[in-house]
Amino acid sequence: MTVRKRKAVARRKSRGDAKAAAEIRKAAQSYGKRAMAILWAIASKAESDNARIAACKEILDRGYGKESRMPPTEQEQAVIRRIERIIVDPKN
């Protein structure tokens, strides 16, 4: 297969993936009100504190958005300092 054909196939596949994702998102959104009602029932009536906290957290995430990730610390940034590509002659 030529490079041009591979790129064309990849474009068609990505359009199909985007279409499928949009359909899944639409289907999930149709259950939004029911899901929120269930989360509220759990948050207000569950016997387990963990279940109530988890349900409240989900409700808040949907209402206000999830907390943004903090920028990486210096230690996290220092994990990879240098990537080196070494070509080895198999004869040596």
CA 15 to chain centre: 19
Q: With 0-12 CB in 10 A as exposed, 13-18 as middle and 19+ as buried, what is 86? A: exposed
CA distance 44 to 16: 41
What's the length of the chain? 92
pLDDT digits (tens, 9 = 90+) for 44-90: 999 999 999 999 998 888 888 777 667 777 776 666 667 777 888 87
- pLDDT confidence of residue 63: 81
Q: Please, how many CA atoms are within 13 Å of residue 87, restricted to the half-sphere of its CB?
A: 0
pTM across the whole model:
0.47
Element (H, E) at 9: helix 3-29
